Structure 1
Amino acid sequence: MLHNFYLIHQHTGICLIHRKYGTIEFNQDLVSGFLTALKDFSVEFSKGSGELKVIDMQVFYLLLVFKEGVLCTAAADKNDDAKITHKALTDIIDQFVGKFSGQLENWSGDVRIFRNFEKVIDDVLKVGKVAEIQLKIPILKIFKKDFMKSQKRIAKKGLVLSEEDLRKVKDVKPEWAAKRLPKQVIATGVLDKEEFKIAHLADGFHTIADIAEESGHPETVIQKIINNLDKLELLSYVEIR
């Protein structure tokens, strides 16, 4: 999900258009500093018009594209496709500059003249969903049955598990996480003690990045462990949009 979109005038740092689609909030002080930072970044981009800049903000990414005095940025979930976002942001800038380049040269500072362009942005970004990709969450098979039961209960209420739910509950252990693989997998050398511990973080709510953060291991190490669990047929996946 693209949570927020900003279209910035390079020379003044004024936000021409802001669209909010998701739940990530920016308080007023943060927005002011945010826009100032974007203005500074635009100078860096001036020699590479149209290039994509990605800034890691820990819980989300800022994706920025600069072109012909206009800077646009989107606050996106980390599993959103950066290439798709880049294409969408570039498309928006191209259309915006094509329509308003003459007015921007002698612009008085009145942002109301750009309001009709908001629908174009909403359409191109598909109301923030343009770059969403299906998220595959690893889950041990010993957890899967209970997980599916919980999903059926949720579905009866007309709801579905989404990535937003993961963001809210990733620090809350589900009931089925108390189950454990048989200790024989350690005794027989199938898994070592650390791998055994990490395996149980695959509970259907932790992404590989979450598991890496909680266990203190690099994602590359976690990915190898997950791949090994998959080969041992101890693992399954749940797909979430």
Structure 2
Amino acid sequence: MKYALITGASRGIGKAIAVKLAKELQYNILLNFHSNIDAANATKELVEAENVHCELLQFDVSDTKMSENVLQDFRKNNPDAEIEIIVNNAGITRDGLFMWMKPEDWHSVINTSLNGFYNVTQPLLKDMLKRRYGRIINIVSLSGLKGNAGQVNYSAAKGALISATKALAKEIGKRKVTVNAVAPGFITSDMTADFDEKELKKMIPLNRFGEAEEVADLVSFLASKKASYITGEVININGGLYS
């Protein structure tokens, strides 16, 4: 059975990606979530409405041992499962001026986005390389490309993930495993719920926030065989804000 693993997939962009990969590419879904079991179950129902299997994997991607144990258990219990797609979507924000930033606000953001990429991708990579097929898609951010005041931690985490994307793409391209990053701008979600949309959209050439489904459309393309000659890229989806 072929699977796509999406981290942080109970809500928002992750949820939209899980449903889209089930619907368009007919992948069975491994849906990682941290704590919100009700949201995860609601997403599972939407995925399974597309006639594929969905398995919930509850773990904190920033915890190396926990991530490794859960992934190992899944592989042991499902020896025929082939994880062909990894979407590293889990991320958190702890915004504030760097001058006043507490150590836990720095480390928790870095650990989730950057170490989470390592903790999930590294244990699964060997199987992809053996099979000579795979898609690794990292959800980064406009902040990681241009920097954003009040988000030094988030910008650092996503900027590092962009560099990791490019380096890993060079390491494993010969094995037909691609690695790309998707950099959303302002997308309607829990993460942007407190933003002043009326003011911010004046900066955006398309004059609106994006939708999670639009990001999912791009991820679905990169996860498909149509994108087999695209690797090491960072693709912006931001309404022209950083073009």
Q: Same fold (TM over 0.5)?
A: no
* The structure with more helix, counted as a fraction of residues: 2
Q: TM-score, normalised by structure 1?
A: 0.30
* Structure whose alpha-carbon radius of gyration is higher: 1
TM-score where L is the length of structure 2? 0.29
